[in-house]
Amino acid sequence: MLSRTAENLYWMARFMERAGATARLIEMGQRMAVLPRSYSQEEWRSVAVAAGCIHLFEDEPVVDEAAIIRTLMLDKDTPSSISSCLERARSNGRSVRTALTRDVWEVLNEGWRMLEGTDAATAQRDLPALLDLVKQRAALFRGAAASSMLRTDRYDFVMIGTHVERADTTLRLLDVKYHVLLPETEVVGGGRDHHQWTSVLHATSAMRAFHHVYRGDYSPSKITDFLILNDAFPRSLAFCYDEIGLHLQKLARSYGQEHECHATVASMISRLDDLEMGELFQHGLHEFILEAMAVTRKLSSEIYRAYYF
Amino acid sequence: MVAGGLSAGNVLSTAAPNRELWSRIFRHPGAELDNITLTRFFDEMRGNGDAIRAPYERVSEWIDRSGLDLLRQRSAEAEAIFRRIGITFAVYGEGGDPERLIPFDLIPRIFSAEEWRRLSRGIEQRARALNAFLYDIYHRGEILRAGIIPADLVYRNAAFQPGMIGVEPPGKVYSHIVGIDIVRTDEGTFQVLEDNCRTPSGVSYMLENREIMMRMFPELFSGGGILPVDHYSNHLAKTLEELAPAACKGEPNVVLLTPGAHNSAYYEHSYLADLMGIELVEPLDLFVNDDLAWMRTTRGPQRVDVIYKRIDDDFIDPLAFRPDSMLGVPGLFNVYRAGGVTLCSAPGAGVADDKAVYVYVPDMIRFYLGESAILQNVPTWRCSDSDECAHVLDHLGEVVVKEVHGSGGYGMLIGPTATKDERKTYAKRIRENSADFIAQPTLDLSTVPTLGPRGIGGRHVDFRPYCLVGKQVRLVPGGLTRVALREGSLVVNSSQGGGVKDTWVLGD
């Protein structure tokens, strides 16, 4: 397979995953903003930080819902905005049209203009419905890929892209929780903290799943345990790394060659296996998150090098 | 579509009687409904008279049987299919939808077996002569020494590549896919309008139009009288493979080189690559090492032996052609000259499709093949000649003027329909750079019945077959019929409101 084809498949999957993730982040912002004792501005600011876009708001006096919708949802020039993710996923797909199944192509081709012509006022009014549509589009993409693509190296690159992006999203969410949402003076475990942690669960579409596993006890350590170590939860760091590892292994088998990215993933997986959450939470969750983010970035560039992107 | 809508019985009861339908078919502005007027144009279905020409008998019955309403309905269905498959033609910079469909007309254009025998011999003859000419001008230049073609026309031609002098392309082939635009003006007269020796596009429409017709109207194809065209991609693959360079051992790796997804013909590029099962590469996917060409793959570098290039010469190698170009594969031209890779078409093949060189193609046929041309040229005035130029300027209102290096129907002056101001401005351009222009009489292009908003009417058509030149010459029985959809219009280019039709060649 051409390296460019692999690269396009990888980014197509990353952008579709990111479109869904940004939609969930905006939902999280909206939810936090209406909670009692909210510092509304801070909540929306945290959404921008989690999306990795806070620098775009430097000139804005306040970061509010309208600014977030304009920038993260509609603005085509913002790399992580939903609009530009849908468009870039489609243009990556179009460049490798022959490597896609018709099902996958149609999801991309029908969805890329869904926000076109939507103005900020309309978007704000219809926000929940629009965000639902975006999440559905991302789910359709995953479904079409899973049910129609041959399990060849093409599919491996789609899955690697999906899970690298997803691991990155989960880590950024956890980072934001620590970095922005929690003022130094606030006691961990306070009422506001509780709401913020549950918001993080909402942002990962994990509320119900969490209840099934932990029976409603919202301790921060259980939530982090769920999002980092629980390999049954599809948005946890452990699950994402397992998937990346699985598909990198498939590539190694079919190409007959392992690269540094294989070692990086293996060491992250064994690290996650050995981790004790309680201990980690007491002594340095934030450091761990920063380190995991760095590893994920390194992994992404190692994948680039390994397959000649 | 409603179930049962296909039944001919339903349709017959509501269909217009023949006479009325036919009067609608041949209605032109000013014509009385009951007075079937034929224009001076030769109609491929009706000739110059009332009788249906033999090749069209079956289709004519089919039109009668179906009636306008059903044809309209099927036409909308066909468009929906085209859109869903994503067969688009990109037109950028004009606003509107950048990915447009080329309008498809259901009523086919048909050649009899006899007509095709003559056409195909003429097409193959021309493709051989054009390649012989290209070999000659990059070697001894015999035709120039013999004084048959002025040397300036070749050596000072913008498409001439000095770097190709003395290069031996595999099979001595320069133009591997020759698209020859042919028009018909009456029963027995076919004329060549121009040759396309570099990257003629449109063959995907030939293939898709047939697919869609067979899918929608299987009854028309029953009995096997219509010769198939779907082996084109096999022939193309064979043509490319058999011209692998000497450096290639074993099965050649053939790729299709596209400028990328933003090119107007990108759909065709991906479609052909898919049909042949070869990689669709962009310049950045290729690199040169050790006098060989390679592509970057996830398994590491892989050798490339034959490049079917759908990209202009100027943009294939910045080291050899355009240093300012961001596109291209540095060093590729050197690899080609050293015999490490085959480029199809060869750089510099454009000299042969220059409109000033076109005038000499019948002479080339005589010179290289010792035959007389089976297909005639359209009479052409060269504005480089002062007498001919004066004639053109005196008759601007009657002729079509074209830029020598132009293509795609841009930059033409159609004298009879141009305004006085347009003619004046154009005359000034001709005087300033007379060598850049040629002129031809306004041709009475033949028409084929075509479904329009006001019924069925004759619309002007041309025809582009795709002749493949490898170790042997191959031509599938068919090609692309382009149709000027606007009533009275003579411009068939897809960028200028043209549409396409399926083209049938009947067996014996």
Annotate B318-352 with three-state secondary structure: CCCCCCCCCCCCCCHHHHHHCCCCEEECCCCHHHH
The beta-carbon neighbor of B261 closest among A95, A109, A307 is: A95
- Check residue A292 and give its pLDDT: 95
Chain A residues within 8 A of B99 when measuring between CB atoms: none
Answer yes or no: is pLDDT of B32 > 50: no
Q: Decide if A308 and B298 are in contact by the 8 Å CB cutoff.
A: yes
Q: Report the range out of A31-45, B330-344, B484-498 with the highest average pLDDT.
A: B330-344
The beta-carbon neighbor of B285 closest among A2, A109, A157 is: A2
Determine the average pLDDT of the residues in B332-339: 95
Letter string b/e over residues A220-244, b meaning 16 or more CB atoms within 10 A of that residue's CB: bbbbbbbbbbbbebebbbbbbbbbb
Mean pLDDT of chain B: 86
- Check residue B404 and give its pLDDT: 82
Chain B residues within 8 A of A308 when measuring between CB atoms: 296-298, 300
Question: B466: which strand partners?
Answer: B179
The beta-carbon neighbor of A109 closest among B86, B260, B297 is: B86
d(CA B56, CA B53): 6
Q: Decide if B282 and A255 are in contact by the 8 Å CB cutoff.
A: no
pTM of the model: 0.81
Q: How is the beta sheet containing B292-297 ordered, strand by strand?
A: B286-289, B292-297, B300-304
Determine the average pLDDT of the residues in B323-347: 91
Answer yes or no: is pLDDT of A185 > 70: no
Whether B270 and chain A come into contact, CB under 8 Å, resolves to: yes
Residue type at position B325: S
Whether B297 and chain A come into contact, CB under 8 Å, resolves to: yes
Q: How many CA atoms does the CB half-sphere of A234 hold within 13 Å?
A: 6
Determine the average pLDDT of the residues in B145-165: 94
Count of CB contacts below 8 A, A vs B?
A: 43
Residue type at position B131: N
pLDDT in tens, B180-206: 999 999 998 999 999 999 999 899 999
Indicate the range of B249-263, B344-358, B384-398, B484-498 predicted with least confidence: B484-498
Answer yes or no: is pLDDT of B475 > 90: yes
Determine the average pLDDT of the residues in B93-116: 80
Q: What is the DSSP string of A102-114?
A: HHHHHHHHHHTTT
Q: Decide if A2 and B281 are in contact by the 8 Å CB cutoff.
A: yes
Q: Decide if B285 and A4 are in contact by the 8 Å CB cutoff.
A: yes
Determine the average pLDDT of the residues in B105-114: 96
> Regarding beta strands B342-344 and B279-281, do their DSSP bridges make them parallel or antiparallel, or are they unpaired?
unpaired
Answer yes or no: is pLDDT of B498 > 90: no
Q: Which of B113, B161, B116 lies closest to B134, judged by CA?
A: B161
What the block records as the tokens of B232 is 């084109």
Residue of B nearest to A157 (CA): B298
**Distance between A61 CA and the closest CA of chain B, angstroms:** 37
Chain B residues within 8 A of A255 when measuring between CB atoms: 298-299
- Check residue A40 and give its pLDDT: 59
pLDDT in tens, B419-472: 999 999 999 999 998 888 999 998 889 999 999 888 899 999 999 999 999 999
Strands (DSSP E) contained in B99-220 are 99-100, 104-111, 177-186, 189-196
Interface test with B, best of A106, A308, A309 (most B CBs within 10 A): A308
Chain A residues within 8 A of B282 when measuring between CB atoms: 4
Confidence of residue B363 (pLDDT cuts 50, 70, 90): very high
Answer yes or no: is pLDDT of B6 > 70: no
Chain B residues within 8 A of A109 when measuring between CB atoms: 86
Among chain A, residues having any CB pair with chain B shorter than 8 Å are: 1-4, 6, 91, 94-95, 97-98, 105, 109, 153, 157, 251, 255, 257, 307-308
Residue of B nearest to A7 (CA): B298
Residue of A nearest to B276 (CA): A98
Q: Kind and range of the H or E element at B377?
A: strand B376-377
d(CA A44, CA A50): 10
Mean pLDDT of chain A: 87
How big is the CA angle at B355 (ends B494 and B98), to the nearest 5 degrees?
20
d(CA B344, CA B373): 26
Answer yes or no: is pLDDT of B28 > 50: no
Q: Which of A84, A28, A75 lies closest to A203, judged by CA?
A: A28
pLDDT in tens, A216-255: 677 777 888 899 999 999 999 999 999 999 999 999 999 9
Q: Decide if A97 and B273 are in contact by the 8 Å CB cutoff.
A: no
Q: Please provide the size of chain A in residues.
A: 309
State how far the alpha carbon of B269 is from the alpha carbons of A119, A195, B205, B309, in Å: 37, 54, 12, 10
The beta-carbon neighbor of A2 closest among B86, B261, B279 is: B279
The beta-carbon neighbor of B297 closest among A1, A95, A257 is: A1
Chain A residues within 8 A of B273 when measuring between CB atoms: 98
Determine the average pLDDT of the residues in B230-245: 96
Question: ipTM of this model?
Answer: 0.79
d(CA B4, CA B388): 62
- The residue with greater pLDDT, A60 or B130, is B130
Spatial contact of B37 and B22, defined as CB atoms under 8 Å apart? no
Angle between the N-to-C axes of helices B203-216 and B232-241, in degrees from 0 to 180, rounded to the nearest 10: 150
Q: What percent of chain A has pLDDT over 90?
A: 53
Q: Which of B306, B287, B284, B292 lies closest to B335, judged by CA?
A: B292
Alpha helices in B34-189 (DSSP H): 57-85, 113-137, 142-145, 151-155
- Check residue B14 and give its pLDDT: 29
pLDDT in tens, A75-134: 988 888 999 999 999 999 988 888 898 899 989 988 887 888 888 899 999 999 999 999
Whether B260 and chain A come into contact, CB under 8 Å, resolves to: yes
Chain B residues within 8 A of A91 when measuring between CB atoms: 261
Interface of B with A in 64-123 (CB under 8 A): 86
pLDDT in tens, B117-136: 999 999 999 999 999 999 99
Residue of B nearest to A109 (CA): B86
d(CA B255, CA B252): 10
The beta-carbon neighbor of A3 closest among B273, B280, B296 is: B296
pLDDT in tens, B47-102: 888 789 999 999 999 999 999 999 999 999 998 888 766 666 554 444 445 567 78
Interface test with A, best of B298, B299, B302 (most A CBs within 10 A): B298
What the block records as the tokens of A125 is 């009014």
Largest pairwise CA distance in chain B: 75
Q: Is the dihedral of CA A128, A134, A137, A141 positive or negative?
A: negative
Determine the average pLDDT of the residues in A181-200: 61
Q: Decide if B297 and A98 are in contact by the 8 Å CB cutoff.
A: no
